[in-house]
Amino acid sequence: MNMPETGPLLSLRDIYKIYTMGESEVFALNGISLTIEKGEFVSIMGPSGSGKSTCMHIIGCLDHPTSGDIFISGKNTSQMNAKELAVLRNKTVGFVFQQYNLISNMTVLENVMLPLRYQGLSISERKARAVEVLERIGLSDRLKHTPGELSGGQKQRTAIARATVTNPELILADEPTGALDSETGNSVIDLFHDINKNGTTILIVTHDQDIGNTAPRRIHLRDGKITEDSCV
């Protein structure tokens, strides 16, 4: 008998992240509860300082909450050890950042091969996988270039190739169009929608309403709280 698919991909329960600055406390996240099902495309919008990046870092287990629980595929991440968390970050989650975070002295191909290093594949298998993803993303003629030789849009496509090469269930993108002109930004968003059509769950942070409104589900943050969570 097959095991049933149990529960949502992601669940946050009453998450607080409090920074202590001398005498004062900053509630970067002030009681966030949120459930995201497999295959959703969700945008998180809100003004600067509303807690968007903090929320993404906590979801991606790059940072710990002060209190509250995060469940990924039903597993409570606060009960995972460092090794289990590293596997989760490498296999389940793909990250895309505003400033691309590519390694500047590596080629496009090497950057995209990097996350496969920990997956027990041979170099030729890693290369074949990376080339396949880069071809699909329209960068097959840039494999040997370094990031410095790419346009902003090409850099972000490389970063998206790197984030998707491991076939993660969840892509977290923090202001992925923030450094791009609007036309290039729109093509990057189209790419996320294409990736979502293959079943990958996408969570995208933006302060740009037009970009955020391309998502069927939109979450608004203000002062570390969810003020709106709506589906169209």
Ligand X SMILES: Nc1ncnc2c1ncn2[C@@H]1O[C@H](COP(=O)(O)OP(=O)(O)O)[C@@H](O)[C@H]1O
Catalog residues that contact Mg ion under the rule CB under 5 A.
Answer: 52-53
For residue 52, the minimal CB distance to Mg ion (Å) is 5
DSSP class of residue 175 equals S
26 binds, options ligand X, Mg ion, none, Cβ within 5 to 8 A by partner type? ligand X
Q: Which SS3 state, helix, strand or coil, does residue 101 take?
A: coil
| Nearest CB to ligand X, comparing residues 145 and 225 | 225
Cα separation of the two ends of the chain: 36
For residue 170, the minimal CB distance to Mg ion (Å) is 18
Backbone angles phi and psi of 223, in degrees to 5: 50, 40
Is residue 209 within the footprint of ligand X (CB under 6 A)? no
Is residue 11 within the footprint of ligand X (CB under 6 A)? no
Binders of ligand X among residues 14 to 43 (CB under 6 A) are 19, 21, 26, 28
State how far the Cα of 104 lies from the Cα of 110, in Å rounded to an integer.
Answer: 10
Is residue 52 within the footprint of ligand X (CB under 6 A)? yes
E strand residue ranges, 74-149: 75-76, 93-97
Write down the residue that tokens 């037009």 correspond to. Answer: 210
Which spans of this chain sit near ligand X (rule: CB under 6 A)?
Answer: 19, 21, 26, 28, 46, 48-54
